[in-house]
Chains A and B, each alone.
Chain A
Amino acid sequence: MKYVEEYRDQALAHRLLGEIHAIVTRPWSLMEVCGGQTHTIVRQGIDDLLPSQVRMIHGPGCPVCVTPLELVDKACAIAAMPGVVFTSYGDMLRVPGSHTDLLSLKARGADVRVVYSPMDAVRIAIDEPDHQVVFFAVGFETTAPANAMAVVQAQRLGLKNFSVLVSHVLVPPAMTALLDDPDCGINAFLAAGHVCAVMGWREYEPIAAKYQVPIVVTGFEPLDLLEGILMCVRQLEGGRAEVENQYIRAVRRDGNPHAQDVIADVFQVSDRTWRGVGSIPGSGLALAPAYAGFDAETRFAVGDIVTTEHASCIAGAILRGVKVPLDCPAYGVSCTPRAPLGAPMVSSEGTCAAFYNSGRTREQPAVLHLTDNAGTRG
């Protein structure tokens, strides 16, 4: 497929690897923020092919993983109500709540449906006026334009039976929260290419300047990631800390202004709790007052939610990049993608699932194979 296969060329990948090996002189730790990038790095074994001085830290950029437990529990409570059609991206269905998950509720008879686009949820609301249709609006800035447009369209059409359970998160505040941690060992970031396709990279310029960290907007194919890593190492070795754009074919400095306008209309910035990480000020989006009528949290009273994480799950440390899945005693033993204890084992973009699905064990190193990665993520 065009714009995919060309960026998986093995010979060109080795040129980039050769250049990284040639210029690195000191140890550097790079964090890829986006779970889609984690998926490619782990799947293709890119981290194991880098020079020993270059360490990849896998960041908190899996929206499924960071959706707060309280919201997952609320989703389950609403989905269990009679007359509700609960719609969600497929990845959220197996995310463990305190007591159950959406897929288990569906198996017990709840009307839980997977949608490919939020507009599919709007369509269900049009077609089934006797049902209350709720859409679980999770995601980063990449997904916010689509989720916002679903709300705009519901208002245009006067739909009284459509609402959204919102758990949107924003990347830059999470990056600064990581950098503010005194134990932070991150020297540079690969910024998420599709987040920046929407938002551009102006917001990252003050972060690079204040914390003196290179930030390279990076795509999702193996060549994109290797070039992004090379650009980070070049900056670090040269003593620079700038925002650069590797993903030139898809990202412009100002991003997508049409999408930003609709996001700004429908949502407002709010504080948000990140599962496993904690509360980060200004790191989320909530419905703006003009669209408050579409808020599922106020439409459905679900009572007090008391959340309980699984005691042996170390998802928080993994999401902060402090630990890797191989550090976890439950990994691959009591926690697998079929029976996940924590959210990072659920989504393919979660670090634990990426490790597990690539056969990573303490004894099994990764290998480079560039042809069987479906689509680009982010």
Chain B
Amino acid sequence: MCLGIPGRVTTVTEDAGLPMGVVDFGGARRTVCLSYTPEVEVGDYVVVHVGFAISRLDEAEALRTLEIIALMPGAMDQEIGPGPIDEAAVRTS
């Protein structure tokens, strides 16, 4: 039930006194209430839960998490072979 999906804000509007926006989830677009993330602008990514954006995603932190993992020593590399796509994974898609 508590599905929270990241998506990109494509428009910011208002409806019946509430700040609203259209959010793109990898191609599917939905109207979302932005009351709880009044700071977001077009192009920002938000976590959406039951029609409400509950958090703005921090791109720099998202990249940093992946970089930290990629720098781990990889103790299992010998067993499974080196990770082939570390750099690609760190780049944003």
- Interface residues, chain A, CB within 8 Å of chain B? 1-7, 9-12, 14-19, 21-22, 34-36, 62-64, 89, 91-92, 116-120, 138-140, 142-143, 145-146, 149, 153, 156-157, 192-194, 197-198, 220, 223, 227, 246, 248-251, 256, 258-259, 262, 347, 349, 375-378
Contact call A17/B50, Cβ cutoff below 8 A: no
Partner of A198, one of B18, B54, B75: B54
Known interface pairs A3-B57, A6-B66, A248-B64; A18-B1 also in contact (CB < 8 Å): no
Contact call B2/A18, Cβ cutoff below 8 A: no
Partner of A15, one of B2, B38, B74, B92: B74
Interface size class of B (residues with CB under 8 A): 35 or more
Give Cα A156–Cα B17 distance, bound, in whole angstroms.
Answer: 10
Give Cα A18–Cα B93 distance, bound, in whole angstroms.
Answer: 26
Partner of B73, one of A18, A140, A146, A220: A18
B42 at the interface (CB under 8 A from A): no
**Smallest CB separation, B70 vs chain A (Å):** 6
Q: Which of B1-35 contact A (CB under 8 A)?
A: 1-6, 8, 16-18, 25-26, 33, 35
Give Cα A92–Cα B49 distance, bound, in whole angstroms.
Answer: 16
Contact call B89/A3, Cβ cutoff below 8 A: no
Partner of B4, one of A6, A14, A149, A378: A378
Contact residues in A for B51 (Cβ distance below 8 Å) = 116-120, 146
Contact call B47/A197, Cβ cutoff below 8 A: yes
Give Cα A116–Cα B57 distance, bound, in whole angstroms.
Answer: 22
Contact residues in B for A1 (Cβ distance below 8 Å) = 6, 25-26
Partner of B92, one of A6, A9, A14, A149: A6
Contact residues in B for A156 (Cβ distance below 8 Å) = 17
Partner of B55, one of A22, A251, A262, A375: A251
Contact call A15/B69, Cβ cutoff below 8 A: yes
Contact residues in B for A92 (Cβ distance below 8 Å) = 1
**Smallest CB separation, B51 vs chain A (Å):** 3
Contact residues in B for A142 (Cβ distance below 8 Å) = 2, 4, 49, 54
Partner of B89, one of A12, A143, A377: A12
Contact residues in B for A19 (Cβ distance below 8 Å) = 72-73, 75
Give Cα A147–Cα B37 distance, bound, in whole angstroms.
Answer: 16
Closest Cβ neighbor of A19 among chain B residues? B72
Partner of B45, one of A2, A120, A246: A2
Contact residues in A for B90 (Cβ distance below 8 Å) = 6
Contact residues in B for A6 (Cβ distance below 8 Å) = 62, 66, 89-90, 92-93
